[in-house]
Amino acid sequence: MPNQQEWFSTWFDSPYYHMLYSNRNYKEAEAFLSKLLDHLHPKPDARILDLACGKGRHAIYLNQQGYNVTGVDLAPQSIEAAKESENEKLHFEVHDMREAYKPGQFDFVLNLFTSFGYFASETENVVALKAIAESVKPGGKLVIDFLNAEKVVANLVPEETKTLEGVTFKITRHMEGKLIVKTIDFEAEGRAYHFQEKVWALTEEDFKEYFTMTDLRLHECFGNYNLEPYDPKTSDRLIFILKK
């Protein structure tokens, strides 16, 4: 299980994390999932793992399309909220992606919306990827949807302020070596809060090097949620489809 000093083990489980990101575009996310399903053509009995599922919104959508879906996340409160939507074909569980989850049980494993590269070292990123690969059935596929680090770093917004539900979030961004660091400071309920998000600025080449250390083969690479070709300068996303 995660070390409590790791930033994501507390921030992802904070109600203020969900407040700050409450404006995320879920219609866009569902459109992407719909396009992804059309592209992947899962069989009706396919088992799907939503890895780092948060409160389960995307797993719930996939289940509504008729699929057997399991969502896992390391944030206990998020999983507790997600469990309210469980049914015979939708389950949620607390899990750290650095450990293998039900090896060889899933036709598709989805790691969506930049839910990778949060760990303290690149070694841990590789450990996580190897563990993720274990969940994929032989012949199955893994989808990794990551930010396009080259474009993000080139267009980093150093400072901004957002006020949501009466809470003013002061946000700064900077690079620490190969890490994109976002610092979030705010006051709420009479106390000051300070959080940081850190994600590795992993490029296409970085990922390709990681993939050589697994039993996964790169099948396709896309640059946005319309599944158009990836361009390091202009693409919004870096989306990999890998086959086992």
**How far, rounded to the nearest angstrom, does the alpha carbon of residue 189 sit from its chain's CA centroid?**
30
The predicted structure's pLDDT at residue 25: 61
Instruction: Please identify every stretch of the chain with a pLDDT value under 70, giving residue numbers as ranges.
Output: 1-5, 23-25
The predicted structure's pLDDT at residue 3: 46
d(CA 243, CA 84): 32
Q: Which domains does the chain have, with CATH numbers?
A: 7-148+202-243 (3.40.50.150), 152-197 (no CATH)
Instruction: Please list, in sequence order, all residues whose beta carbon lies within 8 angstroms of the beta carbon of residue 181, skipping any fewer than 6 positions away.
Output: 173, 174, 175, 196, 197, 198
Put the strands of the sheet holding 106-111 in their side by side order.
Answer: 90-94, 68-73, 47-51, 106-111, 136-147, 237-243, 217-222
d(CA 66, CA 61): 9
